[in-house]
Structure formats: C-alpha cells, structure tokens
Amino acid sequence: MSKGGFDVRRQTGFTTVAVFCFVVLYLPIILLVLYSFNAGESIAIWEGFSWRWYVSAWENERVQAATVRSVVVALSASLIATSSAVLAALATTRTRPWRGQTLAFALINQPLMVPEIVTAVALLIFFALVKVWTGYTGLAYLIIAHSAFCLPFAYMPIRARLQGMDLSLEQAGADLYGTPFKVFRRITLPQLWPGILAGAMLAFVISLDDVVITEFVKSAGQDTLPTYMLGQLRRVITPEINAISSALLAISVMLVIGFFFLSRTPK
C-alpha cells in the first residue's frame, strides 16, 4: 500500500459507517435465523434450541401448497424468461445493428425501470379483463407475469457472456460448413451455458422472492410462499415464519453462490 496515497480505510469514520451498515444489514437476518430455532412460541424471547418450527412448517399443508406453487411458478418463469433471454441476447449481439435495437433493449429491461407497483396494477387490470374473456383462472397468469419481470435478470448475464465471446469462433464454425443452427448448437451454446445457467438461477431467485406483483395478480387460493408469509403477518406471528424465511434464505444464498461461480469468466 502506497504511503500518503488515498486509502479509504484511513478516512475518519469510514470504519464506523461500514460496520454500522453491516450491522443494520445482517444483524436482523442473523436474529431471524437464530429465532427460527427457538423452542418457545415467541419470536423475541429465547427459550432454547429446537427444530420444532421447521417440523411444523414442513407439516403445514398450506405451507406445502404455497411452496410447491412457488417452485412451479419460479421454475416455469425462469425457463420461459431464460429461453426468451437467449433469443433476445442473440438478436442484440449477433446481428448487424438494426432499426429499433435500442428500443428493443429498453423494452427488455423495462421491468427494471418501471416501478413494480405500476406493473402490478397494470397486470391486475389487464388479467382481470382476460379472465372475464376466457374464464381461465389458473397459474398461467402468475407464470406469465413472473416471466416478464424475470426477463432482464436472465438477459444480463447471457448478453454479457455473448459479448465476451470471440465472434471469430462462430465464423470459423461457418467456414467449416456449419449451418447457422449447427454453429449455434455446437459452438455458441456450449460456451454460453454458464451464462444461461447463471441467468436462469437469477431469474429463479427473483421469481421465488416476489411479493408485490404476485399479490396483485394471483387468484384466490394461489398463495406463493412470500404471499403466504405476508398473510401470516396479519395473524399471530410464530417462529414458523422465521423457519420458512431461513429456508428461503438458504436456497437463495446457494443459488447466488452458484451464480457467482458460473458468471466468473473462465480461467
């Protein structure tokens, strides 16, 4: 470390601010996880270690249904979002610049910019109309909505990966008699996989975690895990909520770690 150079660690108060931020961020989470193991009924008074709230959450049929629904929606949405993202990323990196490319880019990323609540209300109204026309009230609405707002999260890592890829490899593939489809399958796709998996994981986590849009779009009896938890907060809160949250946290952390490893550039 150079002497006398600017070193943020030496600036007065930096350490204090940093520590404060970490405490505010992580202390509540640590407490949440801690109390998920509470033997008592309270989320504030420690009465000893126990797995009872995990067991109770596991055996709760409404939690089971909400979990299955969350996973189904998240899997379907990340699948749809990732497939569309692959096509969108190819169209925005592997073609000659076309008219409206910037617009398309903005549209893909729209969910990042429009306030979620606005999207939620808009979808609520739109889907209400569709429900009247079609009479269909299944999970598809949730899956479509989730696919839409997961798209930019799936798109980003895939696009980054494509942009980092050497265009001359695809040219070499074409030079060696590979038709565009074969070149995509044999050359582009194998190198794109880490980006695709990373995008899918990110989309999965984002979908799994969503409250606002889900709350507006879901029909009666279509609670996902987060909206179920939101509903529980209006009643008596038990450490069961902590247990569910901790489980969600564990899944998300694992996926984010996976994402991190996949989106690292090779070597």
Q: Which residues bind another protein (CB under 8 A)?
A: 166, 168-169, 171-180, 182-183, 186-187, 190-191, 267
Give least dist CB 121 to another protein, A. Answer: 46
- In whole angstroms, the minimum distance from the beta carbon of 162 to another protein comes to 15
Q: Which is nearer to another protein, 10 or 186 (CB)?
A: 186
Report whether 202 contacts 109 (CB < 8 A). no
204 phi and psi angles, rounded to 5 deg: -60, -50
**Alpha carbons within 13 A on the beta-carbon side of 103:** 3
Choice between 62 and 186, CB closer to another protein: 186
Are 149 and 206 spatial neighbours (Cβ–Cβ below 8 Å)?
Answer: yes
| 226: nearest Cα among 204, 208, 240 | 208
Closest distance to another protein from the beta carbon of 265 (Å): 12
Helix (H, G, I), strand (E, B) or coil at 38: strand
The CB-of-187 to another protein minimum distance in angstroms stands at: 6
Q: Which is nearer to another protein, 176 or 254 (CB)?
A: 176
Nearest to 146 by CA among 212, 237, 207: 207
Find out whether 201 and 195 touch, Cβ atoms under 8 Å. no
Nearer to another protein, 131 or 186 (CB): 186
